Amino acid sequence: MQLKSVKIGDLSTVNNVFLAPLAGYTNAVFRNMCLKLGAGLAFTEMVSAKGLCYDSAASRELLAYTPDYASIKAVQLFGSEPYFMEKAACGEDIAPFDLIDINMGCPVPKIFKNGEGSALLGNIPLAQSLVKACKKSGKAMSVKFRIGLTREKLVTKDFALAMRDAGADMITVHGRTRDKMYSGVVDYAQIYEAKRAVDIPVIANGGIFKAADADKLMRETGADGVMIARGAMYDPFIFSDICGIKVKDRFSVVKKQLDDTFEMYGDRFATVYMRKMIAFYIKGAPSAAATRVKLMRAGGEREIEEILLSVAQYI
């Protein structure tokens, strides 16, 4: 795909290959690793605006970034109440960030039932009010949304226009409906409709697991860039593949992720998290099943490192 900078308000990205917000995965260390592998922009996990307003330590922890983080700082907020969205966006916790993205695509039942995430696809006036509320922060604004709740309720074009009119500087369109969750075919035509409708950058999201997928998504939609979600969990080197960056020693990259995660987050979190990540990275390898069993039994950094060494050739 053609690499180019994307202008988001007054911000300009290094390129147009972005890391999506992934709940439970895009922590500070993972984001920084993906940026160094070539990603042009990386978002935090989705953070509750109301949680920040109520001084939630768990919400605040999601805002951490590494000391050597040298890119645009992008946070994703979720919520359904303009008051809390504005208060969070204009608050101290979000002050270090350059870009605020609003989640209007999460399909998870708990989020949906609260009127947040993809539930906002069914209430365009409320969705607009959330953008306007966050816009009062003076920061660049983007919105990530799906093409509709069901195939019978596609809203892509209208929603794209509404977000643009409310003040969004960029939109990201996940080419699936809410009821499909994370499966099913990505609807290129709907993303194309969004791109044709608005004069702000449109980023295409969905179904990217290798460089060829990014090429096809760009070609079929005419989007300004792509956003990679689960594909980055399975293979963070997808960024270097797309961007043409040669990585001579992949093991060292993952070893650094392991070390940095333990240093930043402590033994308990890092053990659980890195067991999962290495299991993702070796998917399809001849020893994957046996290695996953060992990983789930690993009790700390040293054991995980030993297992990582044993499968280094498959990383």
Please tell me the total count of domains within the chain: 2
Check whether residue 95 and residue 34 sit in a common domain: yes
Q: What does pTM read for this prediction?
A: 0.96
- Confidence at residue 287, expressed as pLDDT on a 0 to 100 scale: 86
Helix, coil or strand: residue 69: coil
CB-based contact 40:52 (threshold 8 Å):
no
Cβ pair 307, 298 in contact under 8 A: yes
CATH number at residue 127: 3.20.20.70
Is the Cα torsion angle 253, 269, 61, 59 positive or negative in sign? positive
Q: Confidence band (pLDDT; 50, 70, 90) for 184?
A: confident
Please indicate whether residue 106 is annotated as part of the active site: yes
Please report which residue ranges of 150-210 form alpha helices under DSSP H.
Answer: 156-166, 188-197
Q: Among 34, 53, 90, 106, which one carries the catalytic annotation?
A: 106
Same domain, 138 and 41: yes
Domain-located, residue 1 = no
pLDDT per position as a tens digit, 42-52:
999 999 999 99
Closest CA to 163 of 106, 103, 208: 103
Residues near 116 by beta carbon (within 8 Å), at least 6 away in sequence: 78, 79, 80, 103, 106
The region, left, alpha or beta by phi > 0 then psi within -120 to 50, assigned to residue 38 is: left
Domain span at residue 265 reads 250-314
The domain spanning residue 303 has which CATH number? Answer: 1.10.1200
Please check whether residues 226 and 90 belong to one and the same domain: yes
Percentage of the chain lying above the pLDDT 70 cut: 100
What span, in angstroms and rounded, lies between the C-alpha atoms of 86 and 102? 12
Strands 225-228 vs 202-205: parallel, antiparallel or unpaired: parallel
Check whether 135 has a pLDDT greater than 90. Answer: yes
179 in the same domain as 305: no
What does the pLDDT look like over 199-254, one tens digit per residue?
999 999 999 999 999 999 999 999 999 999 999 999 999 999 999 999 999 999 99
- The reported pLDDT for the residue numbered 95 is 98
Average pLDDT over the chain reads 97
